[in-house]
Every structure is written in C-alpha cells, then in structure tokens.
Amino acid sequence: MVILPTNSEARVPELWTEADCISPRVRLRLPVNAGDWYVAMKPAVDFLVALALLVPILPAVALAWALVKLTSRGPGFYAQTRTGRGGLPYRIFKIRSMHHRVEEATGGPKWSPVGDDRIFGMGKFLRKTHLDELPQLLNVLRGEMSLVGPRPERPEVIASKGLCDEIPGYDVRMVAKPGITGLAQVQMPADSDLLSVRRKVYYDLYYIANRSLWFDARICMATVAKAAGIGPTWLRRLFFLPAPDAVLRQFLAVARPARLDRPSSVRLQPVHS
C-alpha cells in the first residue's frame, strides 16, 4: 500500500491544476502490489462472489430486460467490444439503455453528455441504479472483468480520442482487469471530455496501487449507496474513501516525485481544458 503524507484539502484546487499540467509523455512509476496476497487471490474472490450473486440478481435482470423490451424497440441485451487487461479486447454484456442503433444514426460513438437524448426513459433509470451493469457478472465469471476496477472503454474511443497518447497513465491503468464498478465510478462524473477522463485516471491509479479486500468491499457498498442517490462527498465520509488530495498527491508522487512538495518556478498551463 502507498503511504502518503497527509495534507489539508485546502490545497486541492492547486493540486488539480498541477496534476492536469503533467505531460502525457511522462513515465509513471506506479507500485502495483505485485506480491500482495489479495492481488493474487482477487480473481478467485471475484469468481466466487459473482457466482454467489448470479442467482439472486437473475430476477432483477429479467425484470429490467422486460421493461426495456416494453418501453423501446430493439433487443433487451447487447454485447459490445471493450478493452480489457493488457489492452486485450473482449465482449461486454449489458442491458440496453440507449435507443437501438442510435449511434449509427448520430455519427458513431461518443461520450454521454448530461441529458443525453440517446438514452430512453427506462434507460436513464437503469443507468442511475446501475442495473444495466448486472449482466457483466458473466464477464467476471469468464475471467474478463473484476467486480472492482477501472472502467473499460471501447477500442474505437481510445483510438479516436488518442487516450493513450493524450492522458498520462492511461495505459498503466490497464495492468488491472476492468471492473463493474470502481473508485473513479463512485467519485467522479461520467466521461464528457479528455479532462474528465484524465481526472478519472488519477482515481484508477490510486485504486490499483492500494487494492485490498477492505477497499473493494467499501467501493461495492459505496456503489449501492450511489445507486440510492448519495453523492460523492457523503460516499467518502460513509465508506472511508480517499479524499481528492490523497488521490492527487499520489499521482503527483509517481509522476514527478522530485517536485511534489517544491514550489514550481514555471507557470504551468493545463494540458487539456
């Protein structure tokens, strides 16, 4: 586990600015807990928990599928190619929340903005409650995903947006299996531009360096609470999730350890606005 010096959240705006100014060409030295027992046992834990959850959640999946079929045209389920551990592609399973084939009619894949009209009414409810994610338990059983980890992205989005070239540490986050939920998912809003993706990566890297059974349990409980409408600040307080200053200081430590606590003599400008 990475141990960082404590610091008041009064410096958070300054830390955000400094982190956002890190060049995408920087090489990160991120500890990944290679010898930690939980990292070694995590695939087995994921499999057993997913297997235990599969039967109880089947009625919820069936109900969500039926509601999608009743309220919109098209299939209730869909499969989509995502990028997994090591950059390898796999097929993710979800309950459909967008209008059928809407991306073909709107110019291809793009991030979902606030009030995205591609999502139909029931789909908004499914996304808010994360019920659309439940079929991914099959991906966990197949060994393609973890219960907790970085969010998987589509290969075409990674390529078209240049995420590996534009965001420091984006490739490093792929050392872990993608997760149904994750620290970034419960603390940050949905992707909307390069800066939002960049800031989620800070949280992904913090999670990878600090994975533990207790950390995963807290994130899973926070996911349920988020589905119930609890915001990120209260999620941090209730489930002892890391504060932004801890996340940012770790990123700065692995990106520029020699300058972490030194005042900069250069006027920094954010890489992405």
Could you read off the pLDDT of 24-46 as tens digits, one per residue? 988 887 765 655 889 899 999 99
In a domain, 272, yes or no: no
Q: Rounded mean pLDDT of the chain?
A: 87
The total number of structural domains in the chain stands at 1
Q: Is the model more confident about 264 or about 136? A: 136
Nearest 5 degrees, angle CA 103-CA 140-CA 240? Answer: 95
pTM as predicted: 0.88
Structural domain contains residue 123: yes
What is the average per-residue pLDDT within 65-85?
Answer: 94
Q: For the chain, give the percent of residues with pLDDT over 90.
A: 72
Q: What is the mean pLDDT of residues 236-259?
A: 87
Give which of 227, 230, 54 is closest to 130, Cα–Cα: 227
Residue 220: the pLDDT is: 97
Count of Cβ atoms closer than 10 Å to residue 110 Cβ: 15
Of 94 and 116, the structure prediction assigns the larger pLDDT to 94
- pLDDT higher than threshold 70 for residue 199: yes
- Whole-number Å distance between alpha carbons of 227 and 128: 6
Residue 192 has pLDDT above 90, yes or no: no
| pLDDT of res. 32 | 58
The pLDDT score that the predictor gives to residue 114 is 76
Residues of the domain holding 93 = 9-257
pLDDT single digits (tens) 45-55: 999 999 999 99
> What average pLDDT score do residues 159-188 get?
95
Q: Give CA torsion, residues 17, 272, 176, 154, to 10 deg.
A: 150
68-73: long-range contacts, CB 8 A cutoff, minimum separation 24: 68/95, 68/96, 68/97, 68/122, 68/123, 68/126, 71/120, 71/121, 71/122, 72/96, 72/99, 72/100, 72/120, 72/122, 72/123, 73/99, 73/100
Q: Is residue 265 part of a domain?
A: no
pLDDT at 37: 86
Establish if 31 belongs to a structural domain: yes
In a domain, residue 111? The reply is yes
Q: What pLDDT, on a 0 to 100 scale, did the predictor assign at position 113? A: 74
Query: Is 263 inside any structural domain?
Result: no
Please indicate, yes or no, if residue 268 is contained in any of the structural domains: no
- Tell me if 4 is assigned to some domain: no
